[in-house]
Structure 1
Amino acid sequence: MLGLTLREASAALREGKVSATELCQRCLASIKETSSVNAYITVRDAGALQQAEAADKRHRRGQALGPLDGIPVAVKDNFSTAGVETTCASKMLKGYIPPYNATVVQKLLDQGAVLLGKTNLDEFAMGCGSTDSIFGPVRNPWSYSQQYREKSAQTGQISDEDADWVITGGSSGGSAAAVSAFTCFAALGSDTGGSTRNPAAHCGVVGLKPTYGLLSRHGLIPLVNSMDVPGILTRCVDDAAVVLGVLAGHDPKDSTMVQEPFQPFTLPSNLDVSKLCVGIPKEYHAPGLSRETVALWTKAADLLENAGAKIVEVSLPHTRYSIVCYHVLCATEVASNMARFDGLQYGHRCDVDNSTEAMYAATRREGFNDVVRGRILSGTFFLLKENYKHYFLKAQKVRRLIAEDFVKVFHSGVDILLTPTTLGDATQFKEFIKEDNRTRSAQEDIFTQSANMAGLPAVTLPAALSARGLPLGLQFIARAFCEHQLLTVARWLEKQVDFPVLRWQAVPDREHPVLQHNKLASLP
């Protein structure tokens, strides 16, 4: 039942082959079975079942609201959900229950989607591993795959279950893991510098970052206002297109949105890439890029060329400055956005009452982790009067150059860019935490954050397994508001690589179920 695509599950609901209640119950059971993954912060057992029962009534009357009616979904815990705790995985917001829904959440509910719960993340979405949550780190479901364990044992990298698991990527690791572990059919993430695409690549699912201004940010607790976008995580490209069609469209509550109406689209069944010009950015051959990822990148380019596409090398010369520029702009906006959490108006308040200043300081020291406090301090430094033009203004100018690089490439006749998503497969947790948050973000987001700087749409899809039996993803980047072309090309490649699907399977004498492939896949 859970192996169906979103579109297949929707058809099964309309035809009465399965009920929304049955689907919801199976997803809730799967959440319990895979609790070791720690993908969820909040699970809405009773509320989700009530929504599923309402969907069943609509289906029996032949009044389904749309393709998501009765479909179980999950939402990252930095989207406001009316009556449901929204924490951003931080002590600062623990216990906060919003009085309203984020616009994208409301659109899901208006279409009859069943909200299973809120997913885990790095605190306030500041991370690339989903390891910095007050609720504990998210574990990659592929850590439990039979093939990964066999490969790890062969190389001596496995000792015990607690030591060898790998990260999901972040910050939307809970959403990616929830989809990968078959607990829901789609999930919302957020993407500021790669926070949807990075975990999607590591968890073997599809991660879509839409064009800035296409999806409403109203109700998304902000990290970097000028780069944040809601992201979509699904198990196949076609499902991402379905969810995009539901979520996109103007929202008067978000002044950064475009006002042109969005026309939902269906991806063509007869996929043709023969007339495309695909650019390969030479700057993306970055230090640390694994040989496996290079081989996969090359193989994908060969597949496109053999199908008639024109493959050209292109240059994005300011890419090398992008990650540094991103960190300056990210820290400055974080310093501004986090100022609202002062212990008076929003969030946690400490017990210190001898002065307002002391209360502010103690509240923020208790409520934020080291990563958040570090970014606030960095951003405040960059915004000081004597530093403003040397850091913030200069970073804004570099950002414009980065965006113009993309414009020049697309104006030269290139239709779409093909790049890696990450340097390699997912890192073991015990190795990941040896580096500080900023260093890890520079490594993990190196191929993703420039699309956020330019506001462009990008999608990652799983394309092969590494020698360790872990997913490797590839990324496409397109012109602004060209999601149809972006997802069409991604679906074409998806059909060529035929990535293996995982299934949870109970094994005697093991505390947790393991994942089995429906077939094996390896690098071509």
Structure 2
Amino acid sequence: MLRASLREISAALKEGQVSPVELCQKCLALVKATKFLNAYITVAEDTALKQAKASEKRYRQGQRLGDLDGIPIAMKDNFSTMGIETTCASNMLKGYIPPYNATVVQKLLDQGAILVGKTNLDEFAMGSGSTDGAFGPVRNPWSYSQQYREKCVRNSSMQNEDCSWLITGGSSGGSAAAVSSFTCFAALGSDTGGSTRNPASLCGVVGLKPTYGVVSRHGLIPLVNSMDVPGILTRCVDDAATILGALGGHDPKDSTTVQDPFHPFHLPSMTDMNNLCIGIPKEYNAPGLSSETLATWSKAAILFEKAGAKVVEVSLPHTCYSIVCYHVLCAAEVASNMARFDGLEYGHRSSADKSTEALYAATRREGFNDVVRGRILSGNYFLLKQNYESYFIKAQKVRRLIASDFAKVFSSGVDVLLTPTTLGPAVPYTEFIKEDNRTRSTQDDLFTQAANMAGLPAINVPSALSERGLPIGLQFIGRAFCELQLLNVAKWFEEHVQFPAIQLQGIMDPVDAVTQEEKSASFP
């Protein structure tokens, strides 16, 4: 039951095969059973059960709100949720309870979705591993999968369980782990430079970053305003389309959202690839790309070619500058956004009271971790009057060139770009933390951040298992506002690769068993 897609579980709820309360109880039980993954910062058990009871009442009265009514979802802990603590995984915001819902949260609640909890992340979404938050790192569910354990548990370097567990990618690692471990049917993350697609790839789920402006950012605590996009994590492409349909459209509270009406859509099953042109950017065959990921990428291109699509090599010549450009712009906007955390209005406040400046300094020293403070310092350096032209303005010019590269490729007749999502599969935590946060982000966001700078839609689709039994994802990048075409291509690919589901029987089986008490909660 918990392995079902959104469409399947929605049909089961509608037909009375399961009740919203029963479904919510199962998800909450699995959240508790997988607590060791550290996917959630806050489990909203009381709120979720209250919402489930309200949903069950609507079903009984024939007043179903839509396809999401009664379905448990999770929310990255940098989206404001009224009455539920929102921390951004930082000591700075411990105890902060927003007085309003982010627009995306409200839209899901308006459709009857049930919020089971707030998921873990890198502090203020600054990272690519979900390892640098104040509440500890997130563990990848595939660390405990049958596929991985069968191939790696005998390896002498994997005998110590504390050393064997794998990272989820970041910064939306908690949301990816929540979906991958079946504790919810969909989750929202945020995507600034790949923070939805990166963990989706490492956790074997679908991760969609819509076109900038399609989904409202109101209530998303900002990292980089000009690149932040609410991201969607699901188990299949159809589910991502369903959630996008619920979230898309103009929001009067966010002036960057599109003015044109956004219409939800269902994805048809594509059979004809003859009119499709797939671009393979040669610059994405980068140093450090694992041989397994390269082989998966090549096989995917051949798959499309055999189906009748035209597969062509293309060039995005400014790709080599994109990661440096991204980090300059990211740090500059971080410095601006983090200035609001001063200990006066909300969040942590230091006891230092010698002067206003001392209060600011002590509050930020106590509330922010080294990663956040480092980016603030870098950003302020780039924005100094004597450095502004050399760093910030130059980076903006390079950003325009990167966007122009994509525009030229798409204007040449290419419909969708096919690239790797990450350099390789998930790595053990002990190996990951050998590098500093900035270096790790530079490596792990290599293939993803350019789409954010160009404002384009992109999606990760699980594609294969590595020799160690770990997910390998591939990324599709589409034209701006062409989500329908992008998702259609991604769905066709998903159907043809038949990525295997994670096997967590030891954890899932006791929770999936329906007790007599739960049966009594079902519809008559």
TM-score (norm 2): 0.96
Tell me how far 1:155 sits from its aligned partner. 3.9
Tell me how far 1:318 sits from its aligned partner. 0.3
Which residue in the other structure is 1:395 paired with?
A: 395
Fraction of identical pairs, as percent: 75
- CA deviation digits over 1:264-314, x for unaligned, max 9? 111003443221000000000000000000100000000100000000000
Residue 464 of structure 1 aligns to a residue whose secondary structure is: strand
Describe how 1:449-468 pairs up with structure 2 within 5 A: 449-468=449-468
Gaps of 5+ in 1: 514-524
Please say if residues 269 and 488 of structure 2, whose CA atoms lie closer than 8 Å, have aligned partners that are also in contact: no
Which residue in the other structure is 2:234 paired with?
A: 234
Give the AA of the match of 2:266: T
Please say if residues 74 and 115 of structure 2, whose CA atoms lie closer than 8 Å, have aligned partners that are also in contact: yes
Give distance in 2, aligned partners of 1:64 and 1:21: 14
- CA deviation digits over 1:129-177, x for unaligned, max 9? 0001111100000000122123223443302211111100000000000
TM-score (norm 1): 0.96
Residue 153 of structure 2 aligns to a residue whose secondary structure is: helix
Please say if residues 147 and 503 of structure 2, whose CA atoms lie closer than 8 Å, have aligned partners that are also in contact: no
Which residue in the other structure is 2:99 paired with?
A: 99
Distance 1:153 1:506, change over 3 A: closer
- CA deviation digits over 1:400-454, x for unaligned, max 9? 0000000000000000000000000011100100100010001100000000000
Residue 506 of structure 1 aligns to a residue whose secondary structure is: helix
Give distance in 2, aligned partners of 1:70 and 1:272: 36
Which residue in the other structure is 1:217 paired with?
A: 217
Give distance in 1, aligned partners of 2:346 and 2:224: 18
Give the AA of the match of 2:340: R
Please say if residues 121 and 172 of structure 1, whose CA atoms lie closer than 8 Å, have aligned partners that are also in contact: yes
Residue 313 of structure 1 aligns to a residue whose secondary structure is: strand
Tell me how far 1:347 sits from its aligned partner. 1.3
Give the AA of the match of 1:173: G
Please say if residues 139 and 168 of structure 2, whose CA atoms lie closer than 8 Å, have aligned partners that are also in contact: yes
Residue 116 of structure 2 aligns to a residue whose secondary structure is: strand
Give distance in 2, aligned partners of 1:311 and 1:27: 42
Please say if residues 91 and 368 of structure 1, whose CA atoms lie closer than 8 Å, have aligned partners that are also in contact: yes
Determine whether 1:196 maps to 2:196: yes
Gaps of 5+ in 2: 512-524
Give distance in 2, aligned partners of 1:128 and 1:253: 29
Give distance in 2, aligned partners of 1:52 and 1:273: 42
Which residue in the other structure is 1:368 paired with?
A: 368
Describe how 1:347-362 pairs up with structure 2 within 5 A: 347-362=347-362
Give distance in 2, aligned partners of 1:151 and 1:366: 43
Which residue in the other structure is 2:515 paired with?
A: none
- CA deviation digits over 1:217-261, x for unaligned, max 9? 000000000000000000000000000000001001001111000
The number of residue pairs the alignment matches comes to 510
Give the AA of the match of 2:418: L
RMSD (Å) for aligned C-alpha atoms: 1.2
Determine whether 1:253 maps to 2:253: yes
Tell me how far 1:47 sits from its aligned partner. 1.0
Give distance in 2, aligned partners of 1:419 and 1:278: 10
Comparing 144-153 and 70-79, the one that deviates more: 144-153
Which residue in the other structure is 2:335 paired with?
A: 335
Give distance in 1, aligned partners of 2:31 and 2:273: 39
Give distance in 2, aligned partners of 1:499 and 1:237: 12
Which residue in the other structure is 2:17 paired with?
A: 17
Determine whether 1:439 maps to 2:439: yes
Describe how 1:473-484 pairs up with structure 2 within 5 A: 473-484=473-484
Please say if residues 340 and 346 of structure 1, whose CA atoms lie closer than 8 Å, have aligned partners that are also in contact: no
Which residue in the other structure is 1:519 paired with?
A: none
Give the AA of the match of 2:41: I
Residue 504 of structure 2 aligns to a residue whose secondary structure is: strand
Please say if residues 149 and 158 of structure 1, whose CA atoms lie closer than 8 Å, have aligned partners that are also in contact: no
Residue 220 of structure 2 aligns to a residue whose secondary structure is: coil
Residue 342 of structure 1 aligns to a residue whose secondary structure is: coil
Give distance in 2, aligned partners of 1:79 and 1:490: 27
Please say if residues 122 and 130 of structure 1, whose CA atoms lie closer than 8 Å, have aligned partners that are also in contact: yes
Residue 279 of structure 2 aligns to a residue whose secondary structure is: strand
Tell me how far 1:504 sits from its aligned partner. 2.6
Distance 1:272 1:154, change over 3 A: farther
Give the AA of the match of 1:297: W
